[in-house]
Amino acid sequence: MQGGSSGIGYGLKYQARCISDVKADTDHTSFLTGTLSLREENEVHLIRLSSGGTELICEGLFSHPNEIWDLASCPFDQRIFSTVFSTGESYGAAIWQIPELYGQLNSPQLERIASLDAHARKINCVLWWPSGRHDKLISIDDENLFLWTLDCSKKTAQVQSKQSSGMLHYLSGGAWDPHDINAVATTCESSVQFWDLRTMKKTNAVERAHIRNANYDMKNNHILVTAEDESGIHIWDLRKPKSPVKELPGHTHWTWAVSCNPEYDGLILSAGTDSTVNLWLAPTSAEEEATSESIAEPPAQRADPLLNSYSDYEDSVYGLAWSSREPWMFASLSYDGRVVVESVRPFLSRR
């Protein structure tokens, strides 16, 4: 598949892992990304797609005290975002606010609204509820799940509840169900666990090893997509957690991240350490009945779910984000600090 120089590029100064769509910005298609450099001064970039859609403009450049391992934009306030950072030896997480009038200042400083400093272990991620305004936050470290109450005006964050994942379950990440404000999925070494935030109890689990990333389907309830190190991408119907609804081959090496399109049904992006981003079409709703014999069925009989493979990257791709404003655009971030924004329009027409 041709690499496609169609993408719009943007270079960060240092290596980077995370990129996030600024969902609350309804006027522009913009992304937030942060660098990962152990020994240099790290930065958070606010990137905006120019109105013509041909250029990526750096709308804001803010210094960040430590290397950023996770970054998430607040879904209801475009100026607020969260980061997980590391000094090399210790971890921290914080909620930041982009200062007003940042365009006029020379070196604007991020305003730290709150520190999520109840963690004792390595923090993996901070989650916002993806569907709208909600005053709760979730942070996940190796062993615990924290539910925070955030008050932006008072600039405080308090732990509302906390739950340990249990012995020998090292959490690695998570996803907040966009359809259910009380449901959160966390990934750990051998399974995906589902939590009810009201009781902070485990409700369900999908047994599957080495899951890197999980993503809820924004359009279809009960559908969760997971990415695994070696065995590709699996689509699960959470009502039937025994076996996946669908399997996609994933990447040559690990599949690092998956993301369901917020608008188009069955459109899935995956990023891998083989320096490619793959675009899949795997609608689940229509063929739920065909799940039982999916193993026996020869795979050659089905149409190839792979729509395109973007391979114009120099290094592993860790960051991936659909634009919620223009759902046919997505941003990808490879480890060497290159942001590429691409349109999947040419492949939508095929459907």
Partner 1 sequence: MVERENTRTDDVPLDDKAKRMRDLLSSFYNPDHSSAPKAPSNYENLDAIDSTSFDPDHYMNLLVQQSNLEGLLRRHVEMAAEIKNLDTDLQMLVYENYNKFISATDAIKWMKSNIVGMEANMEQLLDKIMSVQSRSDGVNTSLFEKREHIEKLHRTRNLLRKVQFIYDLPARLAKCIKSEAYADAVKFYIGAMPIFKAYGDSSFQDCKRASEEAVIILVKNLQGKLFSDSESIQARAEAAVLLKQLDFPVDSLQARLLEKLEQSLGDLQLKTVGIENILRESNDPSKQGKAFESIPNTGHEVSVHGFAEAIRAYRVIFPDSESQLIKLAQNLVIKHFEMIEQCVKRRISSANFLGALRTIWTDVLLMDEVLSEAALPDFSLEAGQVTVKKYVASTFTYLLQDISDALLKVNVSPKEAAEEHPLQVALEASKKTVLQGSMDLLLDFRQLLDDNLGLLVKLREFIADWVQEGFQDFFRALDDRFLILSGRKNSTSQDQGFSDGALGEKVLVGTVLEITASFSGGGVQGDENGHAFVSGEICQIFRSVSETLLHHYINMRTQRVSTLLRKRFTTPNWVKHKEPREVHMFVDLFVQELRAVQSEVKQILPEGLIRKHHRSDSNGSGNSSRSNALLDDKMSRSNTQKARSQLLETHLAKLFKQKVEIFTKVEYTQESVETTIVKLCLKSLQEFVRLKTFNRSGFQQIQLDVQFLRTILKENIEVEEAIDFLLDEVIVAASERCLDPVPLENPILEKLVQVKLAKSKERSK
Residue 39 or 154: the one with the smaller Cβ distance to partner 1 is 39
Q: Using CB under 8 A as the criterion, what x/- string covers residues 23-62 for binding partner 1?
A: --------------xxxx----------------------
In this chain, which stretch among 154-162, 178-186, 298-306, 323-331 interacts with partner 1, using CB under 8 A?
298-306
In order of 265, 279, 280, the CA distances from 261 in angstroms are 7, 10, 10
Tokens of 15: 């290596």
Q: Using CB under 8 A as the criterion, what x/- string covers residues 313-332 for binding partner 1?
A: -x-x----------------
User: In the sheet that 306-310 helps form, which strands lie side by side, from edge to edge?
Assistant: 255-260, 267-272, 277-281, 306-310
Q: Does the footprint of partner 1 cover residue 300 (CB under 8 A)?
A: yes
Would you say the C-alpha torsion 286, 251, 178, 164 has a positive or negative sign? positive
Q: Using CB under 8 A as the criterion, what x/- string covers residues 196-215 for binding partner 1?
A: -------------xx-----
Q: Does the footprint of partner 1 cover residue 294 (CB under 8 A)?
A: no
The β-bridge relationship of strands 91-97 and 277-281 is: unpaired
In order of 39, 140, 212, the CA distances from 268 in angstroms are 35, 25, 16
Q: Residue 56: beta bridge partners?
A: 49
CB of 192 to partner 1, least distance (A): 16
The β-bridge relationship of strands 267-272 and 277-281 is: antiparallel
Q: Using CB under 8 A as the criterion, what x/- string covers residues 212-241 for binding partner 1?
A: -----------------xxx----------
Q: Does the footprint of partner 1 cover residue 291 (CB under 8 A)?
A: no
DSSP 108: P
Give the interface with partner 1 as residue ranges (CB under 8 A): 14-15, 37-40, 86, 88-89, 170, 209-210, 229-231, 252-254, 273-274, 295-296, 298-300, 314, 316, 335-336
